[in-house]
A and B are shown apart, each in its own frame.
Chain A
Amino acid sequence: MANLKEMRLRIVSVKSTQQVTRAMKMVSAAKLRKAQDAIIQIRPYAEKLHEILVNLVNQNGAADFENKYAEHKEVKKILLVAITSNRGLCGGFNANVVKKVEELLLTKYSHYFQNGMVDVLAIGKKGADVFKAKNIPISGTIHQLYEGLQYSSAEKVAQDLMNSFETGEYDHIDLVYNQFKNAAVQKLIVEPFLPVEIKVEKPSHDDAHHYFSDYIFEPDVNEIMGTVIPKSLKIQFFKAILDSVASEHGARMTAMHKATDNASELVRALNLQYNKARQSAITGELLEIVSGANALKGS
């Protein structure tokens, strides 16, 4: 009964795969929680920073401040920062980022791309691999960022990006990443990073007291702007990375959940098939015995 044995082995192997995917799902769920906590942790900082920025602009008017990061230059060279993950098995998570970058290169930035004026920086191994496989030239990869992710390491990368903008190496920088909505939903977005747009929404009547403007500025407004803007850029970058990490775990959790479900379905179908084969084998054996006995009786 080689066939029955083969099927038994198959069932065992599917079951052990299911165990692996189930474990991976659990691990992702735990990591997702941690990643979500990190997002919540930076929220007070980010909100306060934004509030200070709004206060500064409100009191002094957005028009008359100058900052090297807010300068709109003639766009000659563009950098796309594609934030992906270091590990796979997370559904369409990485492929979506790569697809979006490809789409941008062929539509919005096609003119620049044809002249070789678009660089792609891949953060995360998986993205870099796919870009290579698709023959999309990348100017660099950064993948050590995710090992024990900290603000200080993300800050360094953000500072490098800001420096390359300042020196005029790039005149426009976009971030492409998965924004975290909830465990099951990620939203792929393209976010302009540099130059800075300072959005000042008119404070609604309810929080008018939040934004009253009678501050003493030390040393002076421009100096404060000069420290607050780089900070808010770094926070923006750090938040993008954190969002991407949380999305990655969310995507992996969903993918592994589906894989576990599929495995159960497969085990069910295989078991049915196995039992049918087993029963027909038994029926066959019984027939043999009975007909053997009959033959003996007849003689």
Chain B
Amino acid sequence: MYLEIITPEKKLFAGETDLVKLPGTNGSFEVLMNHAPAISTLSEGKIKVKEPNGNIIFFEIQGGVVEIKSNNIVILVDSSGLV
């Protein structure tokens, strides 16, 4: 599934992933292939991204919104840093 992490200033990440773990407002959750369409708010925490080659990347965020739709994930974050 295709993941994009976007801030107002730049695109932090764009690429294929196997698994994305997100700090939802109601608790952390994971997104795998064929997840149902959803829109959720995110709170402060870490986004964990697992790439197809097994690489794991973390992004620290202050908050944001995520939209999941037909194996496309778009995460809008205010500001973020690679960890």
Tell me the A residues contacting B by CB distance below 8 Å: 38, 41-42, 44-46, 48-49, 51-52, 55-56, 150-152, 155, 212, 214-219, 223-224, 227-228, 231, 235, 238
Q: Are A48 and B76 in contact (CB under 8 A)?
A: yes
Contacts of B74 in A (CB 8 A): 48
Whether A155 and B39, one on each chain, are in contact in the complex, defined by CB atoms closer than 8 angstroms, is no
Given A151-B9, A238-B8, A218-B40 contact (CB < 8 Å) = yes
Known contacts: A151-B79, A218-B25, A228-B65. The answer to whether A45 contacts B39 by CB under 8 A is: no
CA distance A48 to B78 in the complex (A): 13
Given known pairs A55-B39, A216-B36, the reply for A45 and B25 (CB within 8 Å) is no
Contact: A224 with B39, CB < 8 Å?
yes
Residue of B nearest to A228 (CB): B65
User: Can you name the residue of chain A whose Cβ is closest to the Cβ of B40?
Assistant: A218
Closest to B6 in A: A45
User: Could you tell me which B residues sit within 8 Å of A by CB distance?
Assistant: 4, 6-11, 24-26, 36-41, 63, 65, 67, 69, 74, 76, 78-79
What are 15 inter-chain pairs, A to B, with CB distance below 8 A?
A38-B9, A41-B11, A44-B11, A48-B6, A52-B67, A151-B78, A215-B38, A215-B69, A217-B40, A219-B26, A219-B40, A223-B41, A224-B40, A224-B41, A231-B78
Q: Are B39 and A215 closer than 8 Å at their CB atoms?
A: yes
| Residues of A contacting B38 in the complex (Cβ-Cβ under 8 angstroms) | 215-218
Task: State A36–B69 Cα separation when bound (angstroms).
Answer: 30
Q: Quick check: B65 and A41 within 8 Å, CB to CB?
A: no
Nearest CB to that of A214 among chain B residues? B37
B65 near A235 (CB under 8 angstroms)?
no
User: Which residues on B sit within 8 Å (CB–CB) of A215?
Assistant: 37-39, 69
B45 CB, nearest partner CB in chain A, Å: 15
A299 to chain B: closest CB distance in Å? Answer: 91
Residue from A56, A155, A219 whose CB has the most chain B CB atoms within 10 Å: A219
Is A49 a contact of B11 with CB atoms below 8 Å?
A: no
Q: How far, in whole Å, are A65 and B18 apart by their CA atoms in the complex?
A: 36
In Å, the complex CA distance between A238 and B9 comes to: 10
A216 to B40, CA, bound (A): 8
Q: Choose from B7, B10, B65 the contact partner of A227 (Cβ within 8 Å).
A: B65
Q: List, in ascending order, chain A residues with CB within 8 A of B67's CB.
A: 48, 51-52, 55
In the bound complex, do residue A231 and residue B65 qualify as a contact, i.e. CB atoms below 8 Å apart? yes
Q: How far is the CB of A13 from chain B (nearest CB, A)?
A: 44
Q: A151-B8, A224-B40 are in contact. List 16 more A-B contacts (CB 8 A).
A: A38-B9, A42-B9, A44-B6, A45-B8, A48-B6, A52-B39, A52-B65, A55-B67, A151-B78, A151-B79, A215-B39, A218-B25, A218-B40, A219-B41, A224-B65, A231-B65
State in angstroms the CA–CA spacing of A190 and B38 once bound together. 36
Contact B79 A152 (CB under 8 A): yes
Contact B9 A150 (CB under 8 A): yes
Known interface pairs A45-B8, A151-B8, A227-B63; A218-B26 also in contact (CB < 8 Å)? yes
Nearest B residue to A225 via CB reads B41
Residues of A within 8 A of B69 (CB): 215
Question: Counting chain B CB atoms within 10 Å of each CB, which of A45, A56, A219 scores highest?
Answer: A45
How many angstroms between the C-alpha atoms of A215 and B39 in the bound complex?
Answer: 7
Whole-angstrom distance between the Cβ of A225 and the nearest chain B Cβ: 10
Which residues in B have their C-beta under 8 angstroms from that of A228? 65
User: A42 vs B78: C-alpha distance in the bound complex, in angstroms?
Assistant: 11
Q: In the docked arrangement, what's the CA distance between A264 and B2, Å?
A: 56
With A155-B78, A219-B25 as given contacts, are A41 and B40 in contact (CB-CB < 8 Å)?
no
Which 8 A/B pairs are nearest by Cβ-Cβ distance? A218-B40, A216-B38, A151-B8, A45-B6, A215-B37, A227-B41, A42-B8, A219-B26
